Amino acid sequence: MKKIRFVFAILTFNRIDYLRKLVESILKQKTQKNISIEITISNTYSNDETSSYLDTLKKKDNFHIYNGKEQVKHNVLPYLVNCKNLVSVIPENADWVWWVGDDDILENEYSVQTVVDNILKSSDELNFVHACSSRKSSKKNRIFKNSIINLCLEFGYHEILGWISSIILRKKDIIEMFNKMNLNTNYLSNHQIKTSAFNHSSAILENNYNKVGLFLDMPLVKEQERYQTEETSKSWIEANVMTRYFNVIDDLYKMRKFLPNKKFPRIFFRYNHCHFWDHLAHLIIVKLELQADLHEKNNEEPSDEFIAEINDHWQKINSIAELLEDIDSIKLVYLIYQAGINYTNIYIKSNFNPAIREQYLGPLRKIILLPSYQDS
């Protein structure tokens, strides 16, 4: 029976309790003797008990740990530094690497065996496995095999490549992904293009779009918390994630240069229950509400830079129309853009009048948050 060296790759930052549960779920895995499980963890900036915990894990077999203390550099995304350090501890002769978020957990004690069984049933050409989240799985144990780009075209770009805890790659391919992610570490400056919130997705697709992948529609991994915690929200703000969502559109325009598809079906833009343009429009409304709070508390006027950024965000949504292949979706994006940018300017000119927000932005929010898809 073919031996498989199966490695988990974990980036961690100040989530000691979640990390413990994740590691425990990996150690509980029941596998056949031909599978060896190893765990790699990178901790670069934590200031909780993570470092002490990792020091104890270092002494155990099958753990490969980067446990350092580095200074955060200006405009260099700390997350990407952690990725670079993770690469340094992934074993050279690993076969497959499952990238798991430190606040997620394996669904059951047979998750690894299920994945490996399906890898072995497939061909040696296989490069990628999508391990379905428990929340999104139909529970029908369906298996879809296709090129990675065709899986994205059938189920959605974000649905296949967005959530990191669903991503399993051959060792060579995941190293290439992390290296490509680190080509652009800018996340603050407006003078250069910021790295997108899903730079890992574009890195995978650019390197592997025509390679064979599996989508395992069965519950294999899940979030420890269904909704974002206050701590996670804070870290997302610090990492400028909300703004970097809009740079995903830049990724897609770059990828058109090498992808066989220059335009995409509507489902390619699926984002959870809605479409990516809906999510971006909602983020703009959230940004406007945050600015309105500053105006109310501190009588702070919106800066020219803020107004320019908001208008640029709406233009990014407008540019999605050029990426769509069906006329109904194109019309829908144009309508959301036109309504959104007009309502935004009315709201700002009204000095963030709550009545104007309720009259214009409130109904728009209700429309864009209407679900287009079920969970599974």
Tokens of 175: 């190293």
How many angstroms separate the CA atoms of 261 and 295, rounded? 45
Model confidence pLDDT, tens digit, residues 23-50: 999 999 999 999 999 999 999 999 999 9
Residue 104 has pLDDT above 70, yes or no: yes
DSSP, residue by residue, 132-181: EETTT--SS-EEEEEEHHHHHHHH-HHHHHTSGGGEEEEHHHHHHHHHHH
Q: Do residues 179 and 87 touch, judged by C-beta distance below 8 A?
A: yes
Question: And the tokens for 48?
Answer: 């909780």
Q: How confident is the model at residue 75 (pLDDT cuts 50, 70, 90)?
A: confident
Model pLDDT, residue 123: 74
Residues 6+ apart with CB under 8 A from 335: none
Average pLDDT over residues 219-237: 88
pLDDT for the residue numbered 83: 96
| Distance, first Cα to last Cα, the chain | 34
What pLDDT is stored for residue 70 in this prediction? Answer: 82
Band of residue 376 on the pLDDT scale cut at 50, 70, 90: low
Structure tokens at 321: 């129309």
pLDDT of residue 298: 87
For 45, the token pair is: 């900036």
Dihedral, 61, 62, 64, 65 alpha carbons, nearest 10: -60
pLDDT value, residue 311? 96
The predicted pLDDT at position 317 comes to 98
Average pLDDT estimate for 208-218: 97
Q: What is the DSSP string of 278-330?
A: HHHHHHHHHHHHHHHHHHHHH-PPPPHHHHHHHHHHHHHHHHGGGGB-SHHHH
pLDDT in tens, 176-203: 999 999 999 999 877 678 899 999 999 9
Helix (H, G, I), strand (E, B) or coil at 194: coil
Q: φ and ψ at 271, to 5 degrees?
A: -135, 100
What's the confidence (pLDDT) of residue 191?
A: 63
What is the rounded CA–CA span in Å between residue 159 and residue 74? Answer: 32
What's the pLDDT tens digit per position in 266-288?
Answer: 999 999 999 999 999 999 999 99
Which residues fall within 8 angstroms of residue 125, CB to CB, at 6 or more apart? 211, 212
- CB-based contact 324:263 (threshold 8 Å): yes
Taking CA atoms, 191 is separated from 34, 186, 188, in Å, by: 52, 10, 9
- As a whole number of angstroms, the longest Cα–Cα distance in the chain is 71
Q: What's this model's pTM, rounded to 2 decimal places?
A: 0.95
**Token digits of residue 87:** 């690469």
| Nearest of 184, 164, 19 to residue 98 by alpha carbon | 164
Beta-strand relationship, 35-43 and 63-67 = parallel
**3-state SS, residue 215:** strand
- Report the pLDDT averaged over residues 347-375: 94
